[in-house]
Structure 1
């Protein structure tokens, strides 16, 4: 069997032809494909505005800047996420406080968030960055209610969850990133994500004010909007009105993203089918446990649609299982090493034992391959190897 990665992009002939068209056009960047991609993506998630940027990290950084994060800010996030979810606050000089996860779901534990807020002086925290981990959508309606009690903004890190959704208390389906409960949401277009642009990211919102600010910050803080400039010398004139960054997406990437977006619904359906096959294969296995997003806690008892960026299993012999699969050309992955245990964050006082649920999860978690082009033979090979390992217990 050839090597099987945990994630892999799917590039079609249509994708290739779309990119070739841009390469033959007048614009490789700052052209019409950017706005078209933003418009189509906003329709896909159901929000009013979308801002395309260089990558998911840039999306987080600009979101933090737009919401005014500075050296006096303290922001809450989860330790089980990619580093960028917390680093964006540090880029702005702010302080990051982690809150432990629910061990059943891998998501930020909102009961623990409430406990932290209740014991802290009012105004201690300014915002929260929840993560739709693995593609499972957090119940943002519940989090929004809590955030409003304490005057917090929300940046939804939905990098794992385009196409994911939950049903709110009114019975309305709420897609990740639609802006109805979060101030801003961010997405990534890295090759292993649902929509691959090589690199790329998107910020979504329903706030016109934030949208306009993000567009300026994305391009060096420069504008040609006469309503925002102090002077206007002519058609060539522009003004730098803020300290921004070069976080633009190219037309080449936007064209690829638009083509991939056309298959986004199909992609989630394929991922869901793969997950269901895994579920059936591992059900009831005491050695191989499935990260179950709905068991055990009433706060998670809501209808939802999982986007399945990751398929996570848990094993008390995770290291041995990882090595066994790698030996058999199955390249599983670990998501994630808890951020509070990284040397950079330990300098701020975090240490082992601070978040026992996150640390316990890390010791057992393993992400199996899941991507739309994973075929039946490859998946069966993966399942057979995982089960063979589970049956050989010393």
Structure 2
């Protein structure tokens, strides 16, 4: 057993990151300063988008995207049940109705066929989720969106650095959200970004994150002087600080190295588990490049004399910080109270019952990976039929 606990995910900060933050702390702007736009430019340039708007966190960014898209009460938005609650909650924040579409059994991502089945005259948008960093089937989703005149907002919280058919995720749909939580590819502590090529969305997002206020003289009816501003709609205080942005700029310089290491670890897991009949490994979409935020295995429970909980607890007792991503959103109490039914998403629910997330983050050593592999295989062998 390991002597120390290995978490499922963890940030990697160095002296350069710390110094970047210190430099801002010593500057005249801790927030609403020039570092914000520099961070936004770094993200936009990396993914190939025209614009990026930084928010205080990824959930706030999704909220902003739903607002910019014009989603209101009476509109329906389709998303995946295998995601963090924020992918659906953002629709509720603007009064919309969430419609869940079941997943594909191989990639664990939303199934385009299920999306089309759930489209009604009230459907306004699709929020596909690049679960674990594996790109969704964007060609099929974009074709559906074009056919029904829908907006596509990609939830790419897991997918910074991922590529769809050679193109980086982030400039392919109407809007794309990235998260910078400490377990993600790079971190700003808390933070999120919306990238877009649409100037209207860009301007709407900027205003939304700052109370709905503008100082743009072309947009305000009267102007009492250089101090004057106008609040034109009910926005929110969702601004990122310059402190966070400085950390983000420094971290972005390491992104490709971090993603490369994540891929190495995923390949080590693939190789170690490929011959085991006691678990199922992730199957990425062909022709695409995953940025491997998570490595999720499925237990072959029919061949095991133990429950997922028993295996989970045993691994944690061995200091292997496994986790489960995610509880299907439609089965959470809030959504059940809204009328969503357990049993309505059979593939997502079956996956949830068998899934375990293994540790995966760039600072892991080969020895750490070896410890995870040995613990998982020995535990499954011990409880195999």
Deviation at 1:80, TM superposition (A): 0.4
Cα distance in 2 for residues equivalent to 1:130 and 1:142 = 11
Q: Which residue of 1 aligns with 2:304?
A: none
- Is 1:387 aligned to residue 371 of structure 2? no
Alignment deviations for residues 2-55 of structure 1 (CA, whole Å, 9 cap, x no partner):
100000000011000100000000010010100000011100111000000000
Residue 43 of structure 1 is aligned with which of 23, 42, 45?
45
Residue 288 of structure 2 is aligned with which of 285, 304, 324?
304
State how 1:205-354 maps to structure 2 within 5 Å: 205-294=196-285, 302-315=286-299, 316=301, 317-354=307-344
- SS of 2:123's partner is coil
State how 1:18-57 maps to structure 2 within 5 Å: 18-57=20-59
Cα distance in 2 for residues equivalent to 1:103 and 1:141 = 19
Residue 129 of structure 2 is aligned with which of 131, 138, 161?
131
Q: Which residue of 2 aligns with 1:164?
A: 162
Q: Which residue of 1 aligns with 2:170?
A: 177
Q: Which residue of 2 aligns with 1:196?
A: 187
Across the aligned residues of Structure 1 and Structure 2, the Cα RMSD in angstroms comes to 1.0
- SS of 1:361's partner is helix
TM-score (norm 2): 0.96
Cα distance in 2 for residues equivalent to 1:10 and 1:214 = 30
Unpaired runs of at least 5, structure 2: 302-306
Deviation at 1:318, TM superposition (A): 2.3
Cα distance in 2 for residues equivalent to 1:217 and 1:111 = 34
TM-score (norm 1): 0.94
- Is 1:147 aligned to residue 145 of structure 2? yes
Cα distance in 2 for residues equivalent to 1:305 and 1:135 = 9
How many residue pairs get aligned? The number is: 376
Cα distance in 2 for residues equivalent to 1:197 and 1:130 = 24
Deviation at 1:353, TM superposition (A): 1.1
- Displacement over 4 Å in runs of 4+: none
Unpaired runs of at least 5, structure 1: 168-172, 295-301
Alignment deviations for residues 331-384 of structure 1 (CA, whole Å, 9 cap, x no partner):
111000001111110112222211110000000111100000001111111110
- SS of 1:330's partner is coil
Cα distance in 2 for residues equivalent to 1:114 and 1:125 = 10
